[in-house]
Amino acid sequence: MEQSLVLLNSINHSLELHDSEEIFLIELSELSELIQNTINNPNFLQILSNSSKVWNFINQILKTEIKTNIEVRIIRGIIILSRNLITNNQSLIEDLNVTLIQVLESLCNRDDISPNIINNLIHSSFEYLGNFTQIKVKFDKTLFIGLNQFISHKDIDQSNYEILFNILFNFTKDDDILYQCLSKGEGKPILSLLNQEFHNLDLKSKSFSSYDLLIFKIFKKLIIHESYLKFITKYNETIETIQYLRISQALITSTSEWDILDLTTILSWTFEYLDMVYNELEQYFKIHDEEGNHVSNIYQKLHIILDIYTSLIIFDHSKKFLESYKGVELFIKLLGILHQNIPQLKLKDSEKSKFQEEGIPDSHFPGCKSLIIEILSSLTYMNSTIQDKIRELHGLEVILSNCNIDDNEPFIKERAIVCLRFLLLNNQENQKFVAQLEARQVVKDETIDEMGYDVDIVDGKVQLKKKKEEVQKVIG
């Protein structure tokens, strides 16, 4: 023990004097032996970690001015020693965390220090923070904020990402830190790296590495936080918001079970965001702002949220949530505004190949009406209240109008027919309404008409039937 204190005192003195490289090399060798002893001898590790004198020396050493590469190597050795000691005792090191961040800030942008030495210093510092955050469950927010400020000023080598993300995962144990991270936007630097890494993952892989799973675990904790929507919209540009939405989409649509509280949080922020996107969509159709990627951004946001809801709607809790918070009204408004502003597209065979190569323009909002109708189908099934509400909101007419082939919306006709079946099931008022509607005008599809079929409603049931003249031709 005394020998260790003598060494630490000597190192502190040498750093203050900026001694010769020869002396530092000797001290570096002795420091390496000391570190090795903490690894091999648990009792020795316990004694050192409980010594306030040891921690005081470490603090003093880290606060000295550093000038040369060899001095940085000494500092790294002290950080590695601290990393080992911290696993046994954390009661004496609160000030050390702030000091460590200050060391990183002061050294990592210096041109006179080897990049390799700097990267090793960062890695050892992150290991120290990993050990510190792994044991604790409550943290001083200044440490989290300081770490993010450092990340925002320094390009972190990718080799350090995994240990950095482990630190972030440990921080998420503390609700106060999560609040700072998301609601106050303090976590943007580290979450930007996490966002970038998620989009580099191979989501089609049959097996994921521990690193992949770590990224998934962190984002799963983020998307069930009440401040997640505020973070992705207030503190990020549109392109970043869409990236976070895509991450949310990937995780939510691949999860088959949710805790009720977590599901409620996800429903809350996605529903609030869907309402925001509706307002954007309404404004777009008023002024048709085609500047830049404006319409493409609206389309992507809308399609992602709708796709998320096709997964969430399988849960009874989701249906109750949407029924309570006027979800049917919002989905009918969305379906109506899309139907009103985007003409159904019927391509000739000669046009289809070119259209398929180029893709459906985002300004046509491809697939969105189909997703809305799919969601409405799930809400409607065996629910007379929703059946009546859709009729009262004039949704029946819109859905019936989509019983046509539309090259903007593959399979919308089939989805609309299923939805209509659910709307008419055991509901005399809806059956009567549709019968009266058909009496006034029959909804036809040109393609179906050319093939010799009609979309018909018999006794309140939607079905396809052969035209009489076509049948007569076959008989004749």
Categorize the per-residue pLDDT at 230 as very low, low, confident or very high, splitting at 50, 70 and 90. Answer: very high
Question: Phi-psi bin for 382: left (phi > 0), alpha (psi -120 to 50), beta?
Answer: left
- pLDDT tens for residues 326-370? 999 999 999 999 999 998 887 766 566 666 667 788 999 999 999
Per-domain residue ranges of the chain = 1-136, 258-444
Tell me how far apart the alpha carbons of residues 260 and 317 are, in angstroms, rounded to a whole number: 8
Give pLDDT, residue 403.
Answer: 84
Model confidence at 472, pLDDT cuts 50, 70, 90, reads: very low
Rounded average pLDDT over 132-145:
89
Please count the CA atoms within 13 angstroms of the CA of 353 that sit on its side-chain side.
2
pLDDT band, very low/low/confident/very high, at 42 (cuts 50, 70, 90):
very high
**pTM for the full predicted model:** 0.88
pLDDT tens profile 372-400: 999 999 999 999 999 999 999 999 999 98
Residue 463 phi, psi dihedral angles, 5° rounding = -155, 160
Amino acid identity at 266: I
pLDDT mean over 299-311:
98
Secondary structure (DSSP) of 322-369: HHHTTHHHHHHHHHHHHHHHS------HHHHHHHHHH---GGG-TTHH
Separation of alpha carbons 385 and 460, rounded Å: 18
Record: fold of 258-444: Leucine-rich Repeat Variant (1.25.10)
pLDDT band at 240 (very low <50, low <70, confident <90, very high): very high
Q: What pLDDT does 191 receive?
A: 98
With a pLDDT cut of 70, the percent of the chain lying above it is 88
pLDDT digits (tens, 9 = 90+) for 260-277: 999 999 999 999 999 999
pLDDT digits (tens, 9 = 90+) for 45-83: 999 998 989 999 999 999 999 999 999 999 999 999 999
Q: What is the pLDDT of residue 343?
A: 87
In sequence order, which residues have a C-beta less than 8 Å from that of residue 244 and are 6 or more positions away? 195, 232, 236
State whether residue 464 is helix, strand or coil.
Answer: strand
Mean pLDDT of all residues belonging to the chain: 88
